[in-house]
Structure 1
Amino acid sequence: MENISQPPVPPADAAAVHPGIEPISYLLGTWKGQGEGGFPTINSFSYGEELRFTHHSYRPVIAYTQKTWKLNSGEPMHAESGFWRPKPDGFIEVVIAQSTGLAEVLVKEITRVFRLIGGDLSYEVEMATNSTSLQPHLRASLKKL
């Protein structure tokens, strides 16, 4: 009789990268750095941040976690997690849930632009709400650990 409580055994080449994520496999690992944030309805702020991208070779998806903290005290500020799935047309489907219980679909519009520059991962986030047009919100530079 088969034991169905056991999780499936990953293939022997579990360390290999699924061909579907090869174009963004440089993200895999842990990145840490600092960023700045602001928005017309809040005060500007600085923060520390850690991003983690992980992958199992049998799925064309990258798991993503993010956490931020206040630089002066280390107090947690924000956390989110989700999945990144590259599409054949070059776009990346991203699903993210925040620690506040919100998903990004609850804001009117949000854009995230990630760049790999000289070995550092940088990003810029712009956001719009029902009362504010698309505005810069966050930007950071992170180094791979």
Structure 2
Amino acid sequence: MDSGDGKTAVTVHPAIEGLSYLLGTWKGVGEGGFPTISAFTYGEQLTFTHPGNKPVIAYSQKTWKISSGEPMHSESGFWRPKPDGTIEVVIAQSTGLVEVQKGTYDAEKKEVKLVSELVGNASKVKEITRVFTLIDDELSYVVEMATNLTSRQPHLKASLKKL
């Protein structure tokens, strides 16, 4: 189906309509830190894609050093929203760590809240939370983490604009 602008319109599966605002590529800058590491900044790109015929969103993320463009971290996975406002997310990180998260999404507030059910292949990380919010065309997120040495604390935050 042609949307009139030369691009082919993708039919969105009804199960992901409430998160369709995420679809596309987002780019921006983030900040990180934790009691056990020095503070840092990074460039970031998030991409959310949808095959149209499945109730799932594919997710990929990559970060780089702002000063040199050198790659830092990457991860990918799948987001499975449910009609009742709950969501299941699986993420594989380039570090070998795997997250299984569950949470909620609010289509009106354009907010997704995730809490880890499982953090696999991690000797130190015990819990990860992620909160994504879209306000005035800016997608922001906060990641908090708990380890075997620390309680849950802020780890990453970023603000991204859709390309």
**Aligned pairs for 1:63-78 within 5 A:** 63-78=58-73
Q: Say which structure is richer in strand.
A: 2
Q: Secondary structure at the match of 2:30?
A: strand
**Aligned pairs for 1:67-106 within 5 A:** 67-104=62-99, 105-106=119-120
Are 1:85 and 1:92, in contact at CA under 8 Å, matched by a contact in 2? Answer: yes
Deviations 1:25-59 (A, max 9, x none): 00000000000000010000000000000001110
Q: Which has the higher contact order (CA 8 A, sep 6+)?
A: 1
Which is further off, 106-115 or 120-129?
Answer: 106-115
Q: 4+ residue stretches of structure 1 with deviation over 6 A? A: none
CA distance in 2, matches of 1:92, 1:73: 36
Structure 2: runs of 5+ lacking an equivalent: 1-7, 100-118
- 1:131 maps to a residue whose letter is L
Q: Secondary structure at the match of 1:133?
A: coil
Aligned-residue Cα RMSD (Å) equals: 1.3
Residue among 11, 14, 18 paired with 1:19: 14
- 1:35 maps to a residue whose letter is G
CA distance in 1, matches of 2:153, 2:42: 19
Structure 1: runs of 5+ lacking an equivalent: 1-12
**Aligned pairs for 1:116-135 within 5 A:** 116-135=134-153
Deviation of residue 81 (structure 1)? 0.2
Q: Secondary structure at the match of 2:150?
A: coil
Deviation of residue 71 (structure 1)? 0.5
Deviation of residue 73 (structure 1)? 0.7
Deviation of residue 14 (structure 1)? 7.7
CA distance in 2, matches of 1:74, 1:21: 33
Are 1:121 and 1:141, in contact at CA under 8 Å, matched by a contact in 2? Answer: yes
User: How many residues matched?
Assistant: 133
Are 1:18 and 1:57, in contact at CA under 8 Å, matched by a contact in 2? Answer: yes
Identity across the alignment (%): 77
CA distance in 2, matches of 1:70, 1:140: 14
Are 1:30 and 1:52, in contact at CA under 8 Å, matched by a contact in 2? Answer: yes
Q: Which residue of 2 aligns with 1:138?
A: 156
Structure showing greater radius of gyration is 1
Q: Secondary structure at the match of 1:71?
A: coil
Q: Which residue of 1 aligns with 2:36?
A: 41
Are 1:29 and 1:54, in contact at CA under 8 Å, matched by a contact in 2? Answer: yes
